[in-house]
């Protein structure tokens, strides 16, 4: 008998197909969602009081999360030359004015809410500012979005799943821009903060590109 005839081919196919290839197949199937990237639940609140009402035992955490998100929004949100430029992407009611010491002004989208996330392995809390647009021509119209261009569904949504990287510090924006026409994410990073680092593609496009 030839050696090849003594090999149980059916058994090999079963072993390789079920055990060897299955993890690879699962990885490929999950590629678009980021294979190996762990996502955890997070809450989105429109106000600080909403957070405290939902989690009365976490009042201090809500305070810290809100203030952290507010500071991040002030530093990393896009800054526009005029109210018209800001309103063209976020809506006039979603933009706010900031004055410089020389008497000139710039405009930025107001923080519409904040995301509160908890790392399940160490029970620490993290926060990120959230924005939305009231302009019907915007891809963020009545949708939650972050400064790095990610979207999280309808503006009324309060529970999402996300990776921890959404809470990582974002580049500080140091210059003003005109309306961007929703360019690429890397262009937005360049326009806002002078850097193209961290330009991962998102499903919702980008602001200010």
Token pair of 7, please? 């090999």
Domain extent at residue 148: 37-193
- Tens-place pLDDT, residues 89-130: 999 999 999 998 888 899 999 999 999 998 656 667 899 999
Full-model pTM: 0.69
Give which of 46, 151, 145, 134 is closest to 89, Cα–Cα. Answer: 134
Q: Is residue 4 part of a domain?
A: no
State the total domains in the chain.
1
Q: Is residue 81 part of a domain?
A: yes
Cα–Cα distance, 186 to 51 (Å, whole number): 33
CB 79, CB 193: distance < 8 Å: no
Token pair of 9, please? 């081919």
Cα–Cα distance, 70 to 162 (Å, whole number): 20
- Tens-place pLDDT, residues 177-200: 886 543 333 334 434 443 333 333
Strands (E), the chain: 40-45, 95-99, 105-109, 113-119, 124-130, 143-145, 151-154, 159-162
Q: Is residue 152 part of a domain?
A: yes
């Amino acid at each position: 008998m030839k050696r090849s005839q003594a090999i149980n081919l059916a058994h090999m196919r079963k072993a390789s197909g079920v055990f060897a290839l299955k993890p690879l197949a699962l990885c490929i199937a999950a590629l678009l969602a980021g294979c190996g990237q762990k996502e955890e639940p997070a809450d989105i609140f429109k106000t600080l009081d909403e957070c405290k009402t939902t989690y009365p035992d976490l009042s201090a955490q809500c305070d810290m999360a809100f203030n952290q998100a507010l500071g991040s929004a002030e530093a990393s949100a896009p800054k526009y030359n005029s109210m018209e430029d800001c309103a063209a992407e976020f809506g006039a009611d979603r933009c706010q004015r900031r004055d410089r010491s020389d008497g000139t002004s710039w405009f930025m989208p107001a923080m519409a809410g904040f995301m509160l996330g908890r790392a399940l392995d160490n029970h620490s809390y993290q926060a990120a500012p959230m924005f939305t647009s009231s302009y019907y021509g915007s891809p963020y119209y009545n949708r939650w979005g972050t400064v790095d261009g990610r979207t999280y569904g309808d503006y009324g949504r309060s529970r999402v799943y996300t990776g921890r990287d959404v809470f990582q510090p974002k580049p500080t924006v140091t210059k003003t821009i005109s309306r961007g026409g929703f360019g690429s994410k890397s262009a937005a990073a360049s326009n806002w903060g002078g850097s193209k680092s961290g330009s991962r593609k998102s499903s919702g496009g980008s602001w200010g590109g």
